[in-house]
Amino acid sequence: MTGDGGSIPVERREFADEHGALPGGLPPDLYRRIFAASPVGIALSNERGLWVTANPAMCRLFGRTEAEMLGHSGAEFTHPDDLDMHRRAIEIIASTEGGVAHLDKRVLRPDGEVRWVSLTASHTTGPNGQVWTVSHAQDITDRKAAEQAAAESDADLAAVARVIRRVHSGADARDIVVQACRDIAAASYAALAEPQSDPPALRITACSDPSLVGLSVPLSATSASVTAFRTGKPAFFPVPEQDPLASPALLHATRSRSMYLVPIANEHGVSGLLVVGWRTQVPDLADRRAHAVTLLADHAGVALRQATLLGELQRLADTDQLTGVPNRRGWDEQLGHLLAMTRRSGEPLTVAMADLDHFKSFNDSHGHHAGDELLRQFTSAARAALRGGDLFARWGGEEFTIALPQCSAGNAGTVLNRIRTVAGSGQTCSIGYVVFDGNETAEALMDRADRALYAAKRAGRNTIIMA
């Protein structure tokens, strides 16, 4: 065994003839030169799995000298995630046809660099008949990187495709956007922050970590997220706690060690912010991650614009155009929510129906324009007489509905009497009301309120009747 790494594999020596030649009549020096010059890493390990020789190519692959490798096991230089496969190499050799194992594994160099190797291993006979192992290794790091890049590209395309399908389906794409963003960036979480007006703030409306939904940063604050939102420029913070613009409250709530902020834009300007966070430090953001997240931000802009339009259409569908209050459809939806909340809380809920007395005669006498104005005036005055959480809707024609959450029958009478007196233009109003019994359906509740209203009409109008 020579010190330059050009040693002849030990098992070859026992096959030399009486003239010192090896099989094929080739002299040992030629084998030594072939072994040393081979671009493929070659090594021999004994029955205990310890290297007894390694050529220069193998030493270069492991980033070590021959002296540093001999007497050591390959397990010492194998990536922890591949140790189990390394230990099973003997079983793999025994189970394969021809007794040759083909393995791809990672090795660790002294400087911490990880290299992928394609390893071919088979058994051979040692000088005293022991079972030794001869290994050939080639560096396949570049190939693995290309395969990884292709796999990541496919995953990115699949994630973006899911977002596009969700957007085109007309469904709310917020959740699918943040989940895809987290997966593509290999992040701890991804969140979507949107501006709200009261109070002015950036509020997280969707997040892969549901516990962060609702978290907000005031738009008046001097912070990285607000700056990215206002300027429309993305920003990566490998160590955000060292940046004076980083919001301590946001970092504490999200436990972020690195953060990427990407504005979401549409034709009307910046409509939101993608917040991507890692709870371990990320020293730099790979081009692939940045490009993929930016692409998702573009689709998020389309999704938010579509959600805004759908919300506007929904609002229009649920709103009475003349008075601006919920119409019957809007009332039905909101009453359903109120009934569910009341069943859970057990607190009282009063529901009333109001009708402008002799409205047809007023309309015939003063014209439809005056009738419309009367309806608008009554709506405005009635809403002013209600509390913030009360619900007022136009049921149809000159009939209106009122819901008073957390309001008993006695207190409801006082509130409804205020409404009775604000009809305007010399007109009067009749009201019938009921208290939800905690079990009945919305239809049954409204039927009782309707009967109470007719009772008020029969009682002479301009009065209030409780069923």
The residue to which tokens 């024609």 are assigned = 397
CATH 3.30.450.20, applies to 10-139:
yes
- Model confidence band, residue 289 (pLDDT cutoffs 50, 70, 90): low
Which residues does 380 contact at the CB level (< 8 Å), separation at least 6? Answer: none
Residues in the chain: 467
pLDDT interval class at 7 (50, 70, 90) = very low
Of 100, 125, 114, 120, the C-alpha closest to 9 is 125
Query: In the predicted model, what is the mean pLDDT of residues 140-162?
Result: 73
The token duo for 443 is: 């239809």
Percentage above 70 pLDDT, the chain: 85
Q: How many CB atoms lie within 10 A of CB 169?
A: 9
The helix, strand and coil proportions of the chain, stated in percent and rounded to the nearest 5, come to: 45, 25, 30
383-403 per-position pLDDT tens digit: 999 988 899 999 999 999 999
Question: Does residue 462 surpass a pLDDT of 70?
Answer: yes
CATH number of 328-466: 3.30.70.270
Task: At 95, list the tokens.
Answer: 């189970």
Confidence at 8, pLDDT banded by 50, 70, 90: very low
Q: What is the pLDDT of the chain when averaged over all its residues?
A: 84
- Contact between 374 and 425 under an 8 Å Cβ cutoff? The reply is yes
CB 379 within 8 A of CB 390: no
Give the pLDDT band (50/70/90) at residue 159. low
Find the range with the poorest average confidence among 163-177, 323-337, 410-424.
Answer: 163-177
Amino acid making up residue 382: A
| pTM as predicted | 0.45
Which of the four pLDDT bands, split at 50, 70 and 90, describes residue 94? confident
Kindly list the strands in the beta sheet with 41-45, ordered across the sheet, starting from the edge strand earlier in the chain. Answer: 51-54, 41-45, 131-139, 114-125, 100-108
* pLDDT tens for each residue of 165-218: 665 565 567 887 888 888 878 889 999 898 998 889 999 999 999 999 999 999
Residue 348 banded pLDDT, cuts 50, 70, 90: very high
Q: Where are the beta strands (DSSP E) in 330-428?
A: 349-356, 391-396, 399-405
Question: Given 3.40.50.10860, 3.30.460.80, 3.40.50.300, 3.30.450.40, which CATH number is that of 146-316?
Answer: 3.30.450.40
d(CA 168, CA 278) in angstroms, rounded, equals 30
Residues 6+ apart with CB under 8 A from 126: 10, 11, 46, 47, 132
Question: Where exactly are the structural domains of the chain?
Answer: 10-139, 146-316, 328-466
pLDDT recorded at residue 412: 93
CA-CA distance, 456 to 465, in Å (whole number)? 5
Q: What is the mean pLDDT of residues 92-100?
A: 81
Residue linked to tokens 């005055």: 381
Query: What are 218-270's pLDDT values in tens digits?
Result: 998 888 999 999 999 999 999 998 888 888 888 888 999 999 998 888 777 88
More reliable by pLDDT, 208 or 21: 208
Cα→Cα distances 382→385, 421, 433, 462, 467, Å: 5, 9, 15, 15, 21
Asked if 10-139 and 328-466 have one fold, the answer is no
